[in-house]
Structure 1
Amino acid sequence: MEEELASSRSATHGGTTLKECQRMIHKSLQSPTVKSLREHMDKAGCPVRDNFFMAVNCNQGTAGGYIQGEGIVVCSDQIGSQDEVNQVIMHELIHAFDDCRAANLDWLNCAHHACSEIRANHLSGDCHYKRELLRGFWKVKGHEQECIKRRAMTSVSYNPSCSGAAAAKEAVEAVWDVCYNDTEPFERAP
């Protein structure tokens, strides 16, 4: 469900080939955090095999996405580095984990979508201060929470059932406390 635009990345990096992107996905799957998350999903009854991850040309401004019932796509034409692939994989795996653990998760429900976006941005490290600096955002205090809210609102605003900044902001604010503090399956945010 990664929807935050990656146009600055693609303009800077120009993307990679499908083969190179698939190689980076395979390398990302060796990460201890990714392995741990996959193990938790397996224990929850949602095994995630290597073919769950696909390199594709998206021809749009997204870095990747989770497609319910199908898997995770990484947009090779928008990705320029191993770090970006790692971030997409972690972010989207959090969505897949949320989908697995919640029997009634409805991606068209603004609150459900907002909660998963908050968790994915928080638990994947998307809002680490170094990443924010590279995006042109800099703030000494409170940067992480502002980033998580901003990125979650952007993603939710693209949801056809929640379109518009006001609806996205309302959904994010309504679930913020519960979802920000939900670090499952980790003991704390990595």
Structure 2
Amino acid sequence: MASTTDTLASLPSTSTSSISTSTTSSKPLDPAYYTWSNFFSILTNTATPHARDEYFRTKDHLNEARDCARCDKDKAWLFSYSPIIRFMQHNIDLLGPDSGTASIKPENVRCRRCDTKQSGGFDGEYGILVCANHLRNRGHLEDTIAHEMVHAYDHLRFKLDPYDLRHAACMEIRASTLSGECRWTREFFTRNQWNLTQQLQECVRRRATLSVAARSSCKDEAMAGRVVSEVWDSCFTDTRPFDEIYR
């Protein structure tokens, strides 16, 4: 029987497209790509796309144990001391065991190496997957877990179909709005988005559109944008379980 980690990796996420983890990679590792020459060619923008991809794939393989250990340590700290993580955990617990899945606890937030570019994913049966090799720091992990916990709350609180694009768009709008990942400082310092007005709305709309566009039932980004616009007014203003946008 497959482990819960294997199963989580094989199931479609309700927050992103399917995420490949270290248990699903079959391509052999070639450490020859993880060299100083490749590193400097990436810095000078002379590396080929293949060399760039292989460099980072090899780096992630070699640093997998370190990345996951750091992720697990930071995860434990966040569940003890982060206001937003503790608040979301409390409100998920309030929904009760009859809501259909277990509460989100540190043990069902799993740090793994991922072969795709997502930071994490949520599955209603197995919990949250965090891509340890894509995390910049503890703050990035906090945003990622908070995002997925908003998905967990929505999964328990509402009758959502993750394969319905309108539902998916609403989930992504709420998660990007409430997790803090679209706050001004995050956009300004890590994503080079320097708008001074409507920055939050533009970030949420951009990230929700990209997430919906990545789903197999969505034809293209234009279709994703239309779906996001259809549900925008009701979903962006829905801040439950917060009284207002937290940060």
Same fold (TM over 0.5): yes
Whether 1:119 and 2:174 are equivalent positions in the alignment is yes
Task: Tell me: CA distance 1:180–1:186, structure 2 relative to 1, closer, same or farther (3 Å).
Answer: same
Q: 1:85 corresponds to which residue?
A: 141
CA distance in structure 1 between the partners assigned to 2:219 and 2:76 by the alignment? 35
- CA positional deviation for 1:112: 0.3
- One of 11, 16, 20 as aligned partner of 2:70: 20
Contact kept, 8 Å, 1:56 with 1:76, in 2: the verdict is yes
Q: 1:162 corresponds to which residue?
A: 218
- CA positional deviation for 1:49: 2.4
Q: Structure 1, residues 77-123: CA drift from partner, whole Å, max 9, x if none?
A: 11120011001000010011000101x21111000000010000000
- CA positional deviation for 1:164: 1.2
Equivalent pairs counted in the alignment come to 182
Q: Tell me which amino acid in the other structure corresponds to 1:132.
A: E
Q: Tell me which amino acid in the other structure corresponds to 1:187.
A: D
Q: 1:34 corresponds to which residue?
A: 85
Matches within 5 A, 1:87-102: 87-102=143-158
Answer 1 or 2: higher relative contact order, Cα 8 Å, separation at least 6.
1
CA distance in structure 1 between the partners assigned to 2:245 and 2:108 by the alignment? 24
Gaps of 5+ in 2: 1-14, 18-55, 98-102
Q: Tell me which amino acid in the other structure corresponds to 2:121.
A: G
Q: Tell me which amino acid in the other structure corresponds to 1:56.
A: R
Contact kept, 8 Å, 2:72 with 2:111, in 1: the verdict is yes
User: What is the TM-score when the length of structure 1 is the normalising length?
Assistant: 0.90
CA distance in structure 2 between the partners assigned to 1:36 and 1:45 by the alignment? 15
User: What is the TM-score when the length of structure 2 is the normalising length?
Assistant: 0.70
- CA positional deviation for 1:163: 3.6
Task: Tell me: CA distance 1:2–1:125, structure 2 relative to 1, closer, same or farther (3 Å).
Answer: farther
Q: Structure 1, residues 19-40: CA drift from partner, whole Å, max 9, x if none?
A: 1111111112121221111111
- CA positional deviation for 1:73: 0.9
- CA positional deviation for 1:68: 2.5
- One of 162, 165, 177 as aligned partner of 1:107: 162
Q: 1:132 corresponds to which residue?
A: 187
SS in 2 for 1:17: helix
Q: 1:152 corresponds to which residue?
A: 208
